[in-house]
Structure 1
């Protein structure tokens, strides 16, 4: 055993490895042992790259023994949603169809950057099929389970990414977020998540879902882990048109600057938590800790969310049309039907949706003329039971799956950066979105770091695993 417990954050592991307090190989062996013991309960990992992980850990130890300067994530175990290319592993993207593809020849660019910083890759993580899912109930690999209650959803589509961090299988994971797929698992599993500005992190080497909405980002046990990994992954990449010329903006060094001078308000109107007691309690706790009483509203949220649905359906359906024609029975029926619906939408709807998104983005931008950071619930409720098809909010029984992203979809539709912070006011966790203007990830991370330092938000170990 190492001197660190199973829930040590990545930054603390790296500091211990660099100081010689622990060996990276021992940390990695502990992580692999924990995966072997607990993954059957939560089903977070689909592929474990044990030999690679041990090789990488030994390399870190050898470099330290040789007196070389180690990277900021030296020896920290990581894992990635299985839509990230991992050399020697087939990029299944949660699907049956992709399993027929050859193994990836090289890692996705973000994994290369994390590797260069000293991180040790443990493997690939469960996810919703082709990332079109909010539940984590994969029809091919089985449902990913919530470590805080294994009868409940982990959230999707980055289900394994949230579950692995919450279960103590990896301190840091990568996910993707098109309509909420980092923030939903963060909320349901009670961990921190960062959805950066659209175009901030390169998507090269990942399987796409919806090009104009896809984001990549980290999930972690601490805000420091989010900022540290985010800074390592930043930088332009001409192979991703959205990330071709954006320079890096370091955030880690700003975490201790506090919240003085940051103007914060709650989002009201569409984002009201009336009839959602757990979400209301979480937002109230965060707002009170930040001494925030102001509420602002934005016009067109419903229209913006509707536009996101149409854009998602149209762009994803076009990508999968060949397989929809030739292999329809190899899709999860729920995913297939959503793709088919998108394939039938007229082009005029897609064009109109793009126009509405632009109008809605302009409306939202006006808020940031007077406010720096906005607070909103991440999900309308904590994790439902696996297989639960309907749920009651605001006195009305509604479909569970499409409404999990009620509050995340209107934010990712316009590419805003968001840090989700977990709150444990009831038996199950739920998160609050800390939202800032485009390219101001530093602000939402500063607010999140302040809340964490004050003990208002935290990623808590499951009580029964």
Structure 2
């Protein structure tokens, strides 16, 4: 039963007004790039009418949803966090996922801030400003879906839709304390979405819980399940701790939160063993020696938009684009083939009832001041990308769950088998419930 069905819950109109008021509060600075108050109010009124008639459209009817600034929304410019794209004409129509959200009865409240072209992971943006981490305003929120995570934690949206090319949903979820889900590629259409990397881009939700991520994923993928998400039973799956280099350089607080969570899960009856994905990481290292897919493919995207010159782009972003410009076509083909082989090999290494677990990021949210200098920025940016990007290159579904901690948020990442998205969410729901404070 959704909130709009239950008379004890506020109406969609009332909840929307609370969210809009929050958007105009000082805490919401730099969270949104555009707010669709008028259309959202119309959608809220329509949702309340459907609820009164018992004619809800689906699992997101009457829910407040924000969308990242790289999604086309009819009548608005798709800036993708970059000053050089503000001169583009407004989008003629909604991106496919935005159409699906509206058709499902969601209230699309606005577009959220992001890093330039979605090409960095800390959340900084020299053009439009950075939203503060909602848990500690002196720290970065994580990116590239920076405004997305703050919109959820700050009460401005029930669910945020972001993109994830190397961790851009899961990193802000981990650093700011939310749930973030990245599906297997191809499940959610990317039509009408600015592309950082056509090879690695995926679309997914950030929410307060696994259930809301599941509901959003149904709408985004167009595959509405016949039943609600049921948590997996503890004895029906196994967690493989991916010991090795993904634990290198972990902060003591991250390691402590991770090990405490494993102990609680064992006490809850879950099967846990040490495992390894070192062979897969070796495969990824071979690709990295040649280059990265985003560096090559973003350059192609910009050229397709007539942007052959990189003037006006943040120098930190430009340096990574220029690195991809020197990669030959033959080298790119080799990267693609190496990735395909790595995906096949990793897919055969475990089954649908197994998931690999690691800290989502080895560190907690850095202070904003600590990333002001270029060398430190690039080092910390690479460090927070290190673990999440594995799931993108290997094309696996992955979810980040917030661990129970007293201080800054710490994320637990689950990596599932390719195309095993629903099973991964069932397992994530079980873990979420087991770790939930009594």
Describe the SS at the equivalent of 2:236. Answer: coil
1:285–1:456 CA contact under 8 A, matched in 2: no
The alpha-carbon distance between structure 1 residues 103 and 363, as it changes in their structure 2 partners (threshold 3 A), is same
Q: Deviations over 1:8-35 (max 9, x none)?
A: xxxxxx7221223322111111100011
Question: In structure 1, what is the Cα distance between the partners aligned to 2:329 and 2:309?
Answer: 24
1:198–1:214 CA contact under 8 A, matched in 2: yes
Question: In structure 2, what is the Cα distance between the partners aligned to 1:16 and 1:300?
Answer: 44
RMSD between aligned residues: 2.5
Q: Deviations over 1:339-387 (max 9, x none)?
A: 1111112223322222322232233223214962111111110100114
Displacement of 1:55: 0.9
In structure 2, the partner of 1:297 is: 276
1:390–1:399 CA contact under 8 A, matched in 2: no
The alpha-carbon distance between structure 1 residues 390 and 252, as it changes in their structure 2 partners (threshold 3 A), is farther
Q: Deviations over 1:315-346 (max 9, x none)?
A: 11222247796542211111112111111122
In structure 1, the partner of 2:142 is: 155
In structure 2, the partner of 1:278 is: 253
Question: In structure 1, what is the Cα distance between the partners aligned to 2:342 and 2:437?
Answer: 31
- Alignment of 1:48 with 2:35, yes or no, is yes
Question: In structure 1, what is the Cα distance between the partners aligned to 2:154 and 2:236?
Answer: 36
Question: In structure 2, what is the Cα distance between the partners aligned to 1:324 and 1:390?
Answer: 31
Q: Which moved more, 1:324-333 or 1:114-123?
A: 324-333
Q: Which moved more, 1:77-86 or 1:418-427?
A: 418-427
2:231–2:428 CA contact under 8 A, matched in 1: no
1:389–1:399 CA contact under 8 A, matched in 2: no
Q: Which moved more, 1:291-300 or 1:438-447?
A: 291-300
In structure 1, the partner of 2:236 is: 261
The alpha-carbon distance between structure 1 residues 231 and 175, as it changes in their structure 2 partners (threshold 3 A), is same
Displacement of 1:134: 0.6
- Alignment of 1:121 with 2:96, yes or no, is no
In structure 2, the partner of 1:353 is: 335
Structure 1 stretches of 5 or more lacking a match? 1-13, 236-247, 459-465
In structure 2, the partner of 1:138 is: 125
TM-score normalised to the size of structure 1?
Answer: 0.86
1:191–1:422 CA contact under 8 A, matched in 2: yes
2:211–2:229 CA contact under 8 A, matched in 1: no
TM-score normalised to the size of structure 2?
Answer: 0.91
Question: In structure 2, what is the Cα distance between the partners aligned to 1:176 and 1:92?
Answer: 15
In structure 1, the partner of 2:155 is: 168
Q: Deviations over 1:127-155 (max 9, x none)?
A: 01111011111111111210001111111
In structure 2, the partner of 1:462 is: none
The alpha-carbon distance between structure 1 residues 62 and 283, as it changes in their structure 2 partners (threshold 3 A), is same
In structure 1, the partner of 2:427 is: 447
How many pairs does the alignment contain? 428
- Alignment of 1:207 with 2:194, yes or no, is yes
The alpha-carbon distance between structure 1 residues 156 and 324, as it changes in their structure 2 partners (threshold 3 A), is farther
1:282–1:432 CA contact under 8 A, matched in 2: no
Structure 2 stretches of 5 or more lacking a match? none
The alpha-carbon distance between structure 1 residues 229 and 206, as it changes in their structure 2 partners (threshold 3 A), is same
Question: In structure 2, what is the Cα distance between the partners aligned to 1:250 and 1:306?
Answer: 39
Question: In structure 1, what is the Cα distance between the partners aligned to 2:148 and 2:286?
Answer: 27
1:273–1:280 CA contact under 8 A, matched in 2: no
